[in-house]
């Protein structure tokens, strides 16, 4: 959920100006915001599955240190979504294990 009004930061002035495709589904986003922020605001919390036990993982540190939030972005696996900015038309997929290069269709 977006924080539209805020007692200190004021009202949100940015508008949706990008569409990203996450596991085949279109999601509205704001160009330049971290991918992870766009996903959380769309209610997506699971970003990947672990290699051995297929356990779900999501965001943990949000500053690019822990690598828990990595996903496959435009065919590149292990992209840290918490520090990678959204660009219009990005194709993002929930990463399975160590991920694969290339866009899965």
Partner 1 sequence: MKTTDIAVIGAGPAGLSCAVEAARAGAQVTVLDENLKPGGQLFKQIHKFFGSREHKAGIRGFRIGQQLLEETEKLGVEVLLDAAVYGIYEDRLIAYITDGKDHTIKAKKIVMATGASENALAFPGCTLPGVMGAGAAQTMINVNRVLPGQKIIMVGSGNVGLIVSYQLMQAGADVLALIEAAPKIGGYGVHAAKIRRAGVQIYTSTTIKEVLGEEKVEGVIAVNLDEKWQQVTGTEKHFNADTVCLAVGLSPLTELAWMAGCEFTFIPSLGGHVPIHDRNMETTLKGIYIAGDITGVEEASSAMEEGRLAGVACAESLEYYDENKALELKNQIWDRLDALRTGPFGEGRFTAKLKQLDARRQLA
The residues of the shown chain that bind partner 1, judged by CB under 8 A, are 1-4, 6-9, 12, 33-34, 36-38, 40-41, 45-47, 55-66, 82-83, 85
Structural contact between residues 27 and 42, judged by C-beta atoms closer than 8 angstroms: yes
Q: Taking the complex as a whole, how short is the minimal distance between the CB of residue 1 and partner 1, in angstroms?
A: 5
- Between the alpha carbon of residue 24 and those of residues 14, 20, 103, the distances in Å are 25, 9, 11
Q: Taking the complex as a whole, how short is the minimal distance between the CB of residue 104 and partner 1, in angstroms?
A: 20
Q: Which is nearer to partner 1, 7 or 105 (CB)?
A: 7
Classify residue 5 by burial, with Cβ atoms within 10 Å: 0-12, 13-18, 19+: exposed
Q: Taking the complex as a whole, how short is the minimal distance between the CB of residue 101 and partner 1, in angstroms?
A: 15
């Amino acid at each position: 959920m977006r924080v539209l009004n805020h007692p200190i930061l004021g009202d949100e002035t940015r508008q949706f100006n990008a569409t990203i495709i996450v596991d085949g589904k279109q999601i509205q986003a704001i160009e330049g915001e971290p991918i992870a922020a766009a996903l959380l605001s769309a209610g997506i919390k699971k970003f990947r599955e672990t290699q051995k036990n297929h356990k779900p993982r999501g965001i943990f540190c949000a500053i690019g240190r822990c690598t828990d939030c990595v996903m496959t972005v435009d065919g590149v696996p292990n992209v840290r979504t918490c520090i990678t900015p959204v660009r219009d038309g990005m194709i993002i997929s929930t990463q399975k294990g160590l991920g694969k290069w290339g866009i899965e269709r």
